[in-house]
Structure 1
Amino acid sequence: MSEKQALQTYLQRAREALIWKLDGLSEYDVRRPLTPTGTNLLGLVKHAIGVEIGYFAFTFDRPFPEHVQWATDEAEDNADMWATADESREFIVGLYQRVCAHADTTIAELPLDAPGFVPWWGPERGQVVLHQIIVHTTADLQRHAGQADILRELIDGTVGMRADAPNMPTDEPSYWESYRAELQAVADTFK
């Protein structure tokens, strides 16, 4: 596997982990804010759209062919962190798939040392290469996939890294109840 293929594999795994967290949930559950700052599953995917457009389209002057309002400088704060009533799950996920395909084309067509510019990083930090942007975007998406892990567990108890590789010791509820009780007992000693 080449270096570029390895980088793209981890980027793709982050994408898949994020999308997988929506599987089997109602429209309500993918949209409902579960933290004081409003973090929600569909909003994380919507945010990922803007991330990938920004880093793989704008940075390398390879415009994405569709207008995505929340990925512009004119967008309201946090417009990318939640789906409006008019933005269906199918629309958001479909758009994300098209954005990923566009990003994958950028990765395929440019060498890892291809120069780009991230304007929101400023003139000193903004000079980048494709390799750096793939790593940066993968790290960002993995962070959001981790947020999605926690949100999904709060919704229905589903946990794990991917459907085909959950990376958990067991799915047995009694194990987790005992484990959590043990952790709580240790925490309680510090009250």
Structure 2
Amino acid sequence: MPRASQPAGRRERNKQLKLDRITAAARELFAEHGIDEVTTQQIADKADIGTGTLFLYARTKGELLLLVQNSLYAEALERGRVDAENIPDALDAVMAIVRPVVECNRTQVDNGRVYLREMVFGDPAEPHHREALTITGQTEEVVAAVLGRGARVGEADAAAMARIVSAVMFLAMAASVNLAASVDEIMRDIRGQVAVLLAR
């Protein structure tokens, strides 16, 4: 007879409640002020916890930003995946995947750029960094699936091309020259590069 799953104990529920308060506080403060203008003390105060407790959940502001942004990026990727499902043209479908991710990144430009930097240069063993890298991998898998539809390209080529699309997207979002660029301008830049890739 299978055992019913046990409800989370009080300690686990309390940990989750604290994590939820930290995430909500960081999300609100980062969205309002940007990561550079927010201190960990402000986040701890808003979450109604001590700074020592805060550091049990995230050691740096960068990790806090990853904690906040990972869920937003995952939601953006899912929207893009759904949008791309019924688009037959490969380029249009790839751009449908990319657009919500770019929009998420540009909601607060400084936060978006720091998120990308943390993802690339952070410790991949740290849980929030690992989750960010997982989302990047999922993005590449979704793009590869679109490129491989109808046997347009082989599986290995589709995976390699998806990695290139990911790199193009990330560079376009992170580049200092695009600091003031709108979502549409960044999308045009990405589309132009991806179109060359797909025309090979």
TM-score, normalised on structure 2?
Answer: 0.27
Write 1 or 2 for the structure with the bigger share of helix: 2
TM-score, normalised on structure 1?
Answer: 0.28
